[in-house]
Amino acid sequence: MSAKKNFNDIALTPLHLEKLHQTPFKNKAAGLPAVFSSMKQMLQYMSVANALKSSLALNQKGGFDCPGCAWPDPDDERSRIGEYCENGIKAIAEEAQQKAIGADFFATHSVEEMGTWTDFELGKKGRLAEPLLLKEGATHYTAIGWDNAFKMIAAEINSLSNPDEAAFYTSGRTSNEAAFLYQLFVRMTGTNNLPDCSNMCHESSGKALSETIGVGKGTVTLDDIHDAELLIVIGQNPGTNHPRMLTAMEKCKQNGGKIIAINPLPEPGLLHFTNPQNPGKLLSGGTALADLFLQVRINEDVALLKAIMLMMLEAETQQPGTVFDRAFIEAHTSGYDYFIKSLKQHSVDACIAQTGVDKAAIEAAAEMIAQKEKIIICWAMGLTQHENAVDNIKEIVNLLLLKGSIGKPGAGVCPVRGHSNVQGDRTMGIWESAPDSFLNKLEDVFQFKTSRNHGYDVVNSINAMHDGRLKLFFAMGGNFLSAAPDTLYTADALRKTNLTVHVSTKLNRSHLIHGRQALILPCLGRTDTDMQQGMPQFVSCENSMGVVQMSKGVLNPPSKHLLSEVSIVCRLAHATLGDRFNVNWRALENDYNLIRDLVEKTIPGFEKYNERIKQPSGFYLPNAAKQRVFNTVTGKAHFSALPMNSNNLKTGEYIMMTIRSHDQFNTTVYGMNDRYRGIHNERRVVMMHENDMKEAGFQRHDVVNISSHFNGEMRSVQNFIVVPVPIAKRCVATYFPEANALVHIDAVAHTSNTPASKSVIVKIYKA
């Protein structure tokens, strides 16, 4: 196919059909190709010296926290050549580019021209080098001094008729120190409008877990994963998105553990793994991971879990006390009888029929679960981004409660977080609906009155911009436009604001879709050294398992005009609030230890923060559920009686999930290949089962248009290429963010308001 460019709106990734090349879907992950791929990536954009320096410091005690995912580092021994994975290396190579783009670059490229570039091209231009302003009506960004930029934002904030007319987004890379000051500043302006990437990510997990077990986080450590008798990995693709988790899964297997994988795709990393950090294993061919793979249809996990629990119930009824943990249920849970009553209303066969999985495989899973006592369930976006996402996770909790598998070694819930500090940002108060206990404490420590209005989350922010209720949109990192659902609707929303501000490391599409005026504020990244008044500073992050660790960059920043996120918050707060509150923003900017002292005063679990953060492996935050203390209304863990969901696909309809390729970090496209799935050089693809293709009359690599249908409204995207893959029937997959325009703004998970970007009902037509 010849390369062609064609686009209607610069909010969308332009159509840029390249030369698609398809190879067989792989059946194993990592190994030597991963080592080669990561080396190639690093050396393409970095000097050998910087590549070495950064890979040696990656995830080492005293080094920097990988800006990739939030998977924890081992507490004890760490690989000496760096605790890295292929995709961590790509994340660093992406951030640590030496090329920097400043006002000269933006003088030669208009906003409109940049809109014709793909996300891959945008990202490869280099690091942002100086603050930039897009004046009203201007076609190009031009340089602006830092002070003027802060004055401009401050004037805008101070002229709002109501503080709730501004929203302050956070992506999950922001450090604890920056996040704490940022939410404090935002709350001092008088609003709780703190939408964050969590709203699109694990919000459903947080909601379900806090209601059922009293803590919105996971309850396991890395050692628990190693010690589990059974790991269930559901709705997650660790081979691509958390590659170091494969090492933990391998250890679990070596200790005699079993693994069940539940996914509409036979993701290579779930099935087989060759550890690239273990030279012996590279030659011997690696470890078979999953003992059982259940190829569930998209969003039929509730049916699957119900089928499994019905089978377990049957076995328990026949031999009471052999399957369920009666003592645990009795002592620590509530709602068991009602839950069982509601479960019995479903028939096993009807549940099985919905899942698309063989009965024998489900029976095998039920039997494995029945026999084990130490079970951990890991999940990610495959469960959280559906309308019934919160129920998905409550159903997982039901299963674990039946087995008494929460709050003991080798057992528990493991929502695997995405962004490297997304969990820490929440702990620091980046939350549009923070609990009163948090706000009360903030008031105590800082002597001011917080607003008690419920703030806007991501979806509510977009709607508020659309309706003119939001005038200013400020983003601490991220790529809001491309990460959010319903791309064109979100673009319209952003265009209605007076001012959009992005604190960023790299150019992205959100800089091109803007309010009446727009600012880009370039900041230091995780890999950069951070000096304040001649003194080196470090920050800290919390990983997916509640460990808080120091992170200290090692590379020279790519431009001398960059500020740290902490500096940006402090200077903006000072420009906006002056001396109105009892906070010495200048002192905090100069010494991050002082920020940690304030965190210690405000947030439980951070006692002796400055002392303990210097421990080589950091420290664990307390987790009550892990100790079988359930901070729910009843003081017990709750069983939930949940309805069955059904996708009800009509003829010609498919259910579509929007997923990540192996060469991307969210909206940052590192490369054009999805190596494990065998898709190369093209991202505008729709993955389909061969039988479905045949039925629809599609040939391999036909070009199609896709439309989605929600609440009587239609959305569509053009020119996607059909690729046959071994996906569950009637299920299709596209990449995020190319297909985000199909996710209707109102298609959200009940109660968590997370966009349902993994269950989009679509029709597919030949283009």
Ligand X SMILES: Nc1nc2c(c(=O)[nH]1)N[C@H]1C(S)=C(S)[C@@H](COP(=O)(O)OP(=O)(O)OC[C@H]3O[C@@H](n4cnc5c(=O)[nH]c(N)nc54)[C@H](O)[C@@H]3O)O[C@H]1N2
List contacts with Mo ion (CB under 5 A).
201, 418
* Three-state secondary-structure class, residue 742: helix
| Residue whose structure tokens are 């695997």 | 416
Sequence-ordered list of residues with C-beta below 8 angstroms from that of 514, at least 6 positions apart, any chain: 111, 134, 494, 495, 500
740 binds, among Mo ion, ligand X, none (CB under 5 to 8 A by kind): ligand X
Residue with Cβ nearer ligand X (221 or 421): 421
Instruction: Lay out the site mask for ligand X across 703-732 (x = CB under 6 A, - = otherwise).
Output: ------------------------------
Residue with Cβ nearer ligand X (561 or 628): 561
Residue with Cβ nearer ligand X (428 or 442): 428
537 binds, among ligand X, Mo ion, none (CB under 5 to 8 A by kind): none
Residue with Cβ nearer Mo ion (203 or 300): 203
Sole binder of ligand X in the list 205, 240, 517, 551 (CB under 6 A): 240
- Inter-residue contact 737 to 668 (CB < 8 Å): no
Sequence-ordered list of residues with C-beta below 8 angstroms from that of 526, at least 6 positions apart, any chain: 64, 65, 66, 67, 95, 173, 420, 551, 553
Helix (H) or strand (E) holding 262: strand 258-262
519 binds ligand X (CB under 6 A): no
Residue nearest to Mo ion (CB): 418
565 binds ligand X (CB under 6 A): yes
Sole binder of ligand X in the list 503, 555, 669, 728 (CB under 6 A): 503
Residues recorded for the chain: 767
Q: How far is the CB of 618 from ligand X (least distance, A)?
A: 19
Choices 308-316, 369-377, 658-666, 688-696 (CB under 6 A): range interacting with ligand X: 658-666
Positive or negative: CA dihedral 264, 266, 268, 272: positive
470 binds, among ligand X, Mo ion, none (CB under 5 to 8 A by kind): none
DSSP assignment of 128-181 equals: E-S-EEE-TT-SS-EE--HHHHHHHHHHHHHT-SSGGGEEEEE-TT--HHHHHH
- Inter-residue contact 686 to 723 (CB < 8 Å): yes
Positive or negative: CA dihedral 730, 736, 737, 738: negative
Q: How far is the CB of 337 from ligand X (least distance, A)?
A: 29
Sole binder of ligand X in the list 100, 197, 307, 375 (CB under 6 A): 197
Q: How far is the CB of 419 from Mo ion (least distance, A)?
A: 6
Q: How far is the CB of 506 from ligand X (least distance, A)?
A: 4
Q: How far is the CB of 357 from ligand X (least distance, A)?
A: 10
Residue with Cβ nearer Mo ion (418 or 755): 418
671 binds ligand X (CB under 6 A): no
565 binds, among ligand X, Mo ion, none (CB under 5 to 8 A by kind): ligand X
64 binds ligand X (CB under 6 A): no
176 binds, among Mo ion, ligand X, none (CB under 5 to 8 A by kind): none
683 binds, among ligand X, Mo ion, none (CB under 5 to 8 A by kind): none
Residue with Cβ nearer ligand X (295 or 450): 295
Sole binder of ligand X in the list 526, 675, 689, 763 (CB under 6 A): 526
- Inter-residue contact 744 to 708 (CB < 8 Å): yes
Q: Tell me which residue of 326, 306, 307 sits closest to 401, measured CA to CA.
A: 326
Q: Tell me which residue of 450, 424, 425 sits closest to 437, measured CA to CA.
A: 450
- Inter-residue contact 227 to 374 (CB < 8 Å): yes
Q: How far is the CB of 565 from ligand X (least distance, A)?
A: 6
Q: Tell me which residue of 525, 554, 501, 420 sits closest to 100, measured CA to CA.
A: 525
Helix (H) or strand (E) holding 499: strand 499-504
- CA distance linking residue 383 with residue 58, whole number of Å: 30
262 binds ligand X (CB under 6 A): yes
Choices 33-41, 104-112, 222-230, 662-670 (CB under 6 A): range interacting with ligand X: 662-670
Q: Tell me the Cα Rg of the chain.
A: 25
517 binds ligand X (CB under 6 A): no
Choices 42-50, 145-153, 233-241, 364-372 (CB under 6 A): range interacting with ligand X: 233-241
- Inter-residue contact 81 to 55 (CB < 8 Å): yes
483 binds ligand X (CB under 6 A): yes
Choices 145-153, 263-271, 311-319, 423-431 (CB under 6 A): range interacting with ligand X: 263-271
Sequence-ordered list of residues with C-beta below 8 angstroms from that of 484, at least 6 positions apart, any chain: 200, 458, 462, 490, 740, 755
758 binds ligand X (CB under 6 A): yes
Buried (b) or exposed (e) across 623-636, using 16+ Cβ within 10 A? Answer: bebbebebebeeeb
Token pair for residue 421? Answer: 């500090």
Residue type, 532: Q
Choices 4-12, 479-487, 534-542, 706-714 (CB under 6 A): range interacting with ligand X: 479-487
- Inter-residue contact 501 to 484 (CB < 8 Å): no
Question: Which DSSP symbol is given to 13?
Answer: P
Q: How far is the CB of 760 from ligand X (least distance, A)?
A: 8
In angstroms, the first-to-last Cα distance of the chain is 14
| Residue whose structure tokens are 């922010």 | 461
295 binds ligand X (CB under 6 A): no
676 binds ligand X (CB under 6 A): no
Helices 176-189, 436-446: axis angle to 10 degrees equals 80
Q: How far is the CB of 737 from ligand X (least distance, A)?
A: 6
Question: Which DSSP symbol is given to 217?
Answer: S
176 binds ligand X (CB under 6 A): no
236, with CB counted inside 10 A (0-12, 13-18, 19+), is buried
Helix (H) or strand (E) holding 536: strand 535-537
| Residue whose structure tokens are 């003027």 | 148
Sole binder of ligand X in the list 487, 504, 517, 673 (CB under 6 A): 504
480 binds ligand X (CB under 6 A): yes
272 binds, among Mo ion, ligand X, none (CB under 5 to 8 A by kind): none
Q: How far is the CB of 189 from Mo ion (least distance, A)?
A: 27
477 binds ligand X (CB under 6 A): yes
Residue with Cβ nearer ligand X (458 or 603): 458
Sequence-ordered list of residues with C-beta below 8 angstroms from that of 426, at least 6 positions apart, any chain: 196, 198, 206, 216
664 binds ligand X (CB under 6 A): yes
Choices 229-237, 250-258, 314-322, 323-331 (CB under 6 A): range interacting with ligand X: 229-237
| Residue whose structure tokens are 């899973």 | 365
382 binds ligand X (CB under 6 A): yes
171 binds ligand X (CB under 6 A): yes
Sole binder of ligand X in the list 17, 69, 233, 396 (CB under 6 A): 69
Kindly determine how many residues on this chain lie close enough to bind ligand X according to the rule CB under 6 A: 60
645 binds ligand X (CB under 6 A): no
Residue with Cβ nearer ligand X (623 or 734): 734
Instruction: Lay out the site mask for ligand X across 80-119 (x = CB under 6 A, - = otherwise).
Output: -------x--------------------------------
Interface positions with ligand X (CB under 6 A): 68-69, 87, 171-173, 197, 200-201, 234-237, 240-242, 262-265, 267, 296, 298-299, 301, 380-382, 385, 418-419, 476-480, 483, 503-506, 508, 523, 525-526, 565, 657-660, 664-668, 736, 740, 743, 757-758
